[in-house]
Amino acid sequence: MMTNYKLIIRYDGTGYRGWEHQPGEEKTIQGKMETAVIRMLNPSGLKENAEGGAAKSDCLGTFEGDIPDIISAGRTDGGVHALAMCANVRLDTKLSCKEIRDGINRNLPDDICVTDVSVAGDRFHARYNAKGKTYRYTCYAGELKPVFNRRFCYELGKVPDIEAMKKAASIIEGEHDFTSFCGNPRMKKSCVRCVDKITIEYKDEYLTFTYHGNGFLQYMVRIMTGTLLEVGQGKRSVESVAELFETLDRSNAGFTAPARGLALVEVDY
């Protein structure tokens, strides 16, 4: 009997091509997760290639049975991290939730970890049932190199004008057409989203931008961050941010902040 399981996953996105399967042999989080599930359920049914194997287009090899489709709450881009990505998968197994969690983790690389497994309702869908998401972007503004955190932050060199960035953030908050903040607006029927809260904090040489909204477009958080940083660095005015919701032109917004500073923090249901 198939049971729908909810998974909470933590991962370091460095070196991965994002969550979703990619053509060829690129490493993806989804590929590693699906391969780990297969190995847990049928260790002898998977034939690895020289790269270690991965699901579907990630060089799965062979498996007797259907490949488990792990559905995530979102598709993080290459290099982006997650503290609590939510996903669901349907499995036919007698293993307990703890045994599933431990079994998957035994077959995952050290930079991916399933932190929780629970039985979900049969109709639960990690993506379609999500009501909101929280992302955090981390910058480092200290004098010395962030040796141990360098994969998880963007180095600024000096502290920008935080008050100016907060004023600009208040303009971004709310429901708008975020076409100017989308990496590929042609891929979406609508770029209208609601960002209900942006928090900017500076502590111990780290500057963090926390965003909560009902959904985010491709590169949207990174473009919002780049735009706010340009305000803080005096490269654009606070008032210019409001114009971005009128021009609806990506070229008018700020730069796309590097992926390494971004992490999915939480998904609301």
Active site residues: 77
**End-to-end Cα separation, the chain, in angstroms:** 26
Dihedral angle of Cα 16, 258, 83, 161, to the nearest 10 degrees: 170
Nearby residues of 213 by Cβ (< 8 Å), 6 or more positions away: 132, 133, 193, 194, 195, 196, 197
Tokens linked to 124 = 């639960």
Structure-block tokens of residue 96: 């307990």
The stretches of 187-238 forming alpha helices (DSSP H) are 220-232
Question: 9 and 73 in contact (C-beta within 8 Å)?
Answer: no
Q: How many CA atoms lie within 13 A of 248 on its CB side?
A: 9
Half-sphere exposure at residue 226, Cβ-oriented, CA atoms within 13 angstroms:
19
* Helix (H), strand (E), coil (C) string for 70-121: CEECCCCCCCCEEEEEEEEEEECCCCCHHHHHHHHHHCCCCCEEEEEEEECC
